[in-house]
Structures are given as C-alpha cells and as structure tokens.
Structure 1
Amino acid sequence: MKKDIKICLVGSSGGHLTHLYLLKDFWEEYDRFWVTFDKDDANSVLEYEKKYYCYFPTNRNIKNLFKNTMLAIKVLKKEKPDLIISSGAAVAVPFFYIGKLFGAKTVYLEVFDRIDSPTLTGKLVKPVTDKFLVQWEELEKIYKNSKNIGGIF
C-alpha cells in the first residue's frame, strides 16, 4: 500500500458508493478510509475497509447536515487526508468544505445518470472542488472548468 497520500472517499450508499468503488484501480494502492451510511450494501462492499458512518437521511435535512459537519471536523482532524473524493450525495458538502479548511485537495465526480442537468450536491461543492469530473459532454457546458472523463461503467 502506498503511504504517500491518504484518501477520504465520501458517499452515500447505493449508486454514489458504486461510483466511488468503480474507481478502485485508482484508490486501492493508497492509504484510505470511507465515510458512508451504515447500510447493508455499504457494509457488504466495504467489509474490509476502514469506514466512518455518517448520519442520514442527508438530502435537505438541516439537523443531519449539522451532525455531519461535526463528524467531518472530528474525522478529518483525526485522519488528516490529503485528498477527498466524492460522487455525492449531500454528505459530501460538509466534508469538502471542512476538508478545504484543513488543506485537503478535493475531487468530485458527477454521477453517471446526470446527463444535462447538475445535481444539488454538485452545485454546492463546485466552489471548493479542485478537480470536477463529469461523465457527459453536456455537463462540461454546465460546470465550467470541469473535465469529461466519459462513463466509468
């Protein structure tokens, strides 16, 4: 395992977690940890991975946004990642903003099923994202300075 950088992978369970897991060729050689929901699919996929559980539901839930912001401070202060990667959903927001305050670089991957309209999470994290990746040409026009990497499926 490479120790030169530490990666934090943040995403809700389900499709967002699947997107991050599909990047395994990139992250598998690095020291890493995950932030996701305590749900069966996440626990199965990440059985042998270091993980922290965030609070859900997250979408438009102010109480859990506050709790996840406190979690982000605690986890990021302890783990000190160099890089935070997410494909959403809302749990990415506090981790990206707090991560930037702690000096981490951020990479956001807009989900595959968004072809010509932005996600709320994408719009919220764009200002603090160092590398914003999309999977469709149409989204390059919506997200200025993004990079189209094509579909990861």
Structure 2
Amino acid sequence: MKICLVGSSGGHLTHMMMLRPFWSKHERFWVTFDKEDARSRLEGEHVYHCYYPTNRNLLNLLRNTGLAWKILRRERPDLIISSGAAVAVPFFYLGKLFGAKLVYLEVFDRFDSPTLTGKLVHSVSDLFIVQWEEMTKVYRNAVNLGSIF
C-alpha cells in the first residue's frame, strides 16, 4: 500500500508523526510546507513541498490544486491521510477522483466545534476520526478513537 501524508507543518505534522506505528510499515510520501520543522522531522523521507500560507489564500489553493493533480497522477497513492490544514482540501477532492481512500484525523484541540478543513473534507472522507466523544455530535459518522497523544 502506498500512502500520501498531507498537511501543514507544526501541530498538524506532529499529529501525523504520532501515527508512525502505522505509516512506517508502508511505502509513503509527504506533502507539507518547506519549513525548518518539517525539513528536520522528515529528513530521509520522500517529501513534496506545497505552497503556503494556505488558510483563506485563494492563490495558493489554486497552486496547491495544480500541485495535487501532478503529484497524485505521478504517485497514485492507495490512501491519503491528513489532519489538516487547508492543503489537505485539494488532495482529498482530487484523491477521491483518483480512487484513493481518504482518512482525516480532526486535531486534538477541537473538542466541540469543527475546523474549516474538517468541514470541507468531511463529506468526501472514507474515515473521519475525532479524538473527543463530543465531536461525534459535530460530525455525523465520525469515529472517536480517543487521543493519539
């Protein structure tokens, strides 16, 4: 199985790193910002750098949509996993077109309200994971797996 792990650097990348016991067993590639924390944490990994800032930035959304098309067409992942933020949106929608399974992990610090990215990708996700029971009321069909920390 080939996995695409897509998301912002910082806390979103930390969430993805917590899933190492799963993704370390598979062929994978990353899509994230070209920032120091991402470069150091992903040293030796196959990484594509996306455009940022992404939140509410239409130009970078368009640029990242083009990037997603190129990367997904080349890599053909079986599974796309993200915990946000906005860079996940074009990868999820185009990934669905390419036949990838989509797993979204809502961030830990949201326990009673949705994130913008969560709202945007919820409808196309094959598995939508939350870390608080209260969030199952916010997102229908969400699965609470508890904290990953």
Instruction: State the TM-score bracket (shorter-chain normalisation).
Output: over 0.9
Q: Which position in structure 2 is the counterpart of 1:113? A: 109
TM-aligned CA deviation for residue 120 of structure 1: 0.2
SS in 1 for 2:48: strand
Q: How does 1:36-75 map to 2 (within 5 A)?
A: 36-75=32-71
Gaps in structure 2 of 5+ consecutive residues: none
How many Å separate the matches in 2 of 1:37 and 1:7? 18
SS in 2 for 1:9: strand
SS in 2 for 1:127: helix
Does residue 87 of structure 1 match 2:97?
no
How many Å separate the matches in 1 of 2:47 and 2:14? 15
User: TM-score if structure 1 supplies the norm length?
Assistant: 0.97
TM-aligned CA deviation for residue 17 of structure 1: 0.3
RMSD: 0.3
Gaps in structure 1 of 5+ consecutive residues: none
How many Å separate the matches in 2 of 1:71 and 1:105? 19
SS in 2 for 1:86: strand
Identity rate, percent = 70
TM-aligned CA deviation for residue 56 of structure 1: 0.1
Number of corresponding residues: 149
Provide runs of 4+ in structure 1 moved above 6 Å.
Answer: none
